[in-house]
Amino acid sequence: MQRLANKRIIVGITGGIAAYKSAELVRRLQDHGADVRVVMTAAAQSFITPLTLQALSGKPVHLDLLDTEAEAAMGHIELARWGDAIVIAPASADFIARFAHGHGNDLLTTLCLAARCPIAVAPAMNQAMWASPANLENIETLRSRKIPLFGPAAGSQACGDVGLGRMLEAEEIAQCTADLFENNILTGKRVVITAGPTREAIDPVRFISNHSSGKMGYSLAEAARDAGAAVTLISGPVNLDCPDRVDRVSVSSAQEMLDAALNVLPADIFIATAAVADYRPDKQANQKMKKKGDGGPLTLTLIENPDIVATVAKQEPKPYVVGFAAETQSVLEYARGKIERKNLDMIVANDVSQAGIGFNSDENAVTAIWPDQEQVLERASKQQIASQLVELIAQKLAAEG
Ligand code: C5P
């Protein structure tokens, strides 16, 4: 569930027996890649200790609006700005009432007032309390403000009653949290992405290849899927699992990658992140080549591989074609040349000579280039760069009509 990777989630815990499930929720959100911070109300601390949540989240738990030390470390306004979403689980009837009426009488309600990010509420209370007119009115107020409500579920309750008011299970809340980040900017679009290296066989056991990890292409596949697209990932040999709900076609050589690409067209968007070998041996030996043992050199003749992205850019109907340019010098200049030469709509340039970005690393810093415009995307995780690129591509596509 890539949608939570690198997302900053504030889990707000209020007083209710379901607070024991919040420990599991923190874990699940982290398993899905989120960075989690916990805020507890005073009542919550009667049900579960801050120490448990601190140990799980690996961060100090935020408890008190008036704690000068905690405020100095990360004040409530700063915390409100930090979060990409706030999830209140469990949300007690009392919290819901205070939240609905705009109170700011503890850290959590104040945080909710200060936050500009989505705030979601997972109610948990006895079924009679849930059904009380006052609570239902407060819930209606939240609905009218478009506050996402996660649950409640119906079923047996800690108090022995059966009915509506149970908090959803941790994994269900994690899934609902991920859904907060789904956008539909590419809904109905077909996206084809090439990723990873290619292998050009010398003989049955040897090949020419490169260090591409495939991470950028895989991150783009997840970002495009999360934007609602149907994604086909044409992948060279990499050590990455196929993302959920993405079709992967595994290939080895450049020629296989080209065949696979032409086979899955037409598409609305074609993104070429693959580090395709420019050359391949002119012939592949049928048997493992033997060392000559005469001390002399071995000469391999290499012939040029087809240019996959340029070939795709010649197809009709032409997809919106995005190339990548990994360079070690004159990065922008070479990239601009490639836009024209390969008939691309956009190119993403990165300087692979810089340590810690580009090839085989988790971060990247790139410049998106169009024939008439450029935009720098500062250093960030490949997932974040991927989301930003998908947004830019979707904008351009929409502008082209
Ligand atoms: O020419 P260069 O390899 O630097 O171009 C990089 C861009 O072209 C990348 O988007 C890469 O995936 C694509 N490419 C390709 N087929 C090739 C060589 C490069 O699709 N044979």
Averaged pLDDT for residues 317-334: 92
Q: Is 274 in the pocket of ligand 1 (CB under 6 A)?
A: yes
Q: Is 214 in the pocket of ligand 1 (CB under 6 A)?
A: no
Q: Give the pLDDT confidence score for residue 148 in this predicted structure.
A: 97
Q: Give the pLDDT confidence score for residue 327 in this predicted structure.
A: 84
Mean pLDDT is lowest, of 15-19, 201-205, 296-300, 397-401, for 397-401
What is the rounded distance in angstroms from the CA atom of residue 283 to the CA atom of residue 203?
9
Cα(309) to centroid(ligand 1), Å: 6
Cα(261) to centroid(ligand 1), Å: 13
Q: Are 364 and 382 in contact (CB under 8 A)?
A: yes
Q: Give the pLDDT confidence score for residue 358 in this predicted structure.
A: 63
Residue 152 preceded by cis peptide, ω within 30: yes
Residue 291 pLDDT > 80: yes
Q: Is 130 in the pocket of ligand 1 (CB under 6 A)?
A: no
Q: Give the pLDDT confidence score for residue 189 in this predicted structure.
A: 94
The verdict on whether 117 is a catalytic residue reads no
Report in angstroms the alpha-carbon separations of 24 from 21, 139, 171.
5, 25, 8
Q: Are 210 and 62 in contact (CB under 8 A)?
A: no
Residue 11's nearest CA partner among 142, 120, 103, 95 is: 120
Residue 34's nearest CA partner among 216, 174, 219, 218 is: 174
Q: Give the pLDDT confidence score for residue 263 in this predicted structure.
A: 98
Mean pLDDT is lowest, of 53-62, 143-152, 274-283, 327-336, for 327-336
By alpha-carbon position, which residue is closest to atom 17 of ligand 1? 307
The CATH code that applies to domain 2-178 is: 3.40.50.1950
Secondary structure of residue 48 in the 3-state scheme = coil
For 18-50, write each residue's pLDDT tens digit.
999 999 999 999 988 889 999 999 999 999 999
Q: Is 86 in the pocket of ligand 1 (CB under 6 A)?
A: no
CA 331 to chain CA centroid, nearest Å: 27
* Axis crossing angle, helix 50-57 with helix 20-31, rounded to the nearest 10: 10
Residue 38's nearest CA partner among 102, 55, 72, 16 is: 55
Q: Give the pLDDT confidence score for residue 2 in this predicted structure.
A: 56
* Region at 102 (left for phi over 0; alpha for psi -120 to 50; beta for the rest): left
Helices vs. strands in the chain: H and E counts, helices first:
14, 18
Averaged pLDDT for residues 73-81: 84
Averaged pLDDT for residues 305-314: 98
Cα(204) to centroid(ligand 1), Å: 25
Domain boundaries, the chain: 2-178, 190-289+296-399
What is the rounded distance in angstroms from the CA atom of residue 229 to the CA atom of residue 267?
11
For 42-55, write each residue's pLDDT tens digit.
999 999 999 999 99
What is the rounded distance in angstroms from the CA atom of residue 340 to the CA atom of residue 7?
37
pTM listed for this prediction: 0.67
Secondary structure of residue 379 in the 3-state scheme = strand
Q: Are 183 and 223 in contact (CB under 8 A)?
A: no
Q: Is the dihedral of CA 276, 282, 286, 290 positive or negative?
A: negative
Catalytic residue selected from 112, 117, 159, 242: 159
Cα(323) to centroid(ligand 1), Å: 7
Residue 7 pLDDT > 90: no
| Nearest atom within ligand 1 for CA of residue 324 | 10
H or E segment at 35? Answer: strand 35-40
Other Cβ atoms within 10 Å of 72 Cβ, number: 8
Cα(225) to centroid(ligand 1), Å: 23
Question: Ligand 1 pocket check: which of 208, 235, 342, 344 to mutate, most ligand atoms within 8 Å of Cβ?
Answer: 342
Q: Give the pLDDT confidence score for residue 184 in this predicted structure.
A: 77
Domain 190-289+296-399 belongs to what architecture?
3-Layer(aba) Sandwich (3.40)
For 98-119, write each residue's pLDDT tens digit.
999 999 999 999 999 999 889 9
For 122-140, write each residue's pLDDT tens digit.
999 999 999 999 999 999 9
